[in-house]
């Protein structure tokens, strides 16, 4: 009698282990490695490159970030990193730069070339996918990208936020974002 009970428990535990292993495999294939690709071909890696480009130009007065650090590290480790679809300017010097709706709309309406012309060398758009500044310019022309807002949409950003000393002042939904979901692989 004890042997039958022990065998049933062992069968149940092995079944639970195998189902868990299968679930973990599916999770890593489809959920943890998901991405959204903007219509210019940029994924979360390409968006991070654009954030770093902005930051190098605007420091020390502005920190350029995404929603990446909004999620605690243990959650990012388990679920996967955020897709970086929010671009956030965190102004550190309130005497130099305005943080209001008017300033945000003015920035977004500037010519896209004012940003794209700052790229030098290869531009990493996704893991394993790079383009030259000339290829980016050609793609922007073909896709009718004229303003900074168009460029951000093409990279896959959905929101533009302005913070002043870590306090949100402005949030604008970026128009024209048409991301394509991508799962699996890196």
Q: Is the pTM higher than 0.75?
A: yes
Residue matched to tokens 């654009």: 50
pLDDT in tens, 136-165: 999 999 999 999 999 999 999 999 999 999
Hey, where are the domains in the chain? 1-33, 36-178
Instruction: For 122-167, give the DSSP string.
Output: -EEEETTEEE-HHHHHHHHHHTT--BHHHHHHHHT--EEEEEETTE
pLDDT in tens, 18-71: 888 777 766 655 555 578 888 888 888 899 988 988 888 887 888 999 998 888
Q: Are 127 and 186 a contacting pair, CB within 8 Å?
A: yes
């Amino acid at each position: 009698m004890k042997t039958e009970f022990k065998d049933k428990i062992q069968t149940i535990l092995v079944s639970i282990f195998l189902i868990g292993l299968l679930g973990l495999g599916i999770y890593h294939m489809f959920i943890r490695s998901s991405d959204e690709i903007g219509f210019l071909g940029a994924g979360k890696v390409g968006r991070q490159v654009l954030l770093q480009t902005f930051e190098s130009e605007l420091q020390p007065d502005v920190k350029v970030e995404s929603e990446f650090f909004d999620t605690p590290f243990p959650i990012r480790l388990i679920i996967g990193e955020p897709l970086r679809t929010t671009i956030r300017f965190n102004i550190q010097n309130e005497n130099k730069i305005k943080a209001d709706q008017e300033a945000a709309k003015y920035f977004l309406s500037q010519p896209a070339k004012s940003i794209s012309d700052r790229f030098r060398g290869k531009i990493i758009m996704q893991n394993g996918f790079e383009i030259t500044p000339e290829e980016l310019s050609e793609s922007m022309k073909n896709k009718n990208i004229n303003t900074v807002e168009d460029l951000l949409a093409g990279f896959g950003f959905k929101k533009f936020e302005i913070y002043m000393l870590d306090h949100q002042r402005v949030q604008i939904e970026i128009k024209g974002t048409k991301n394509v979901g991508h799962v699996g692989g890196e």
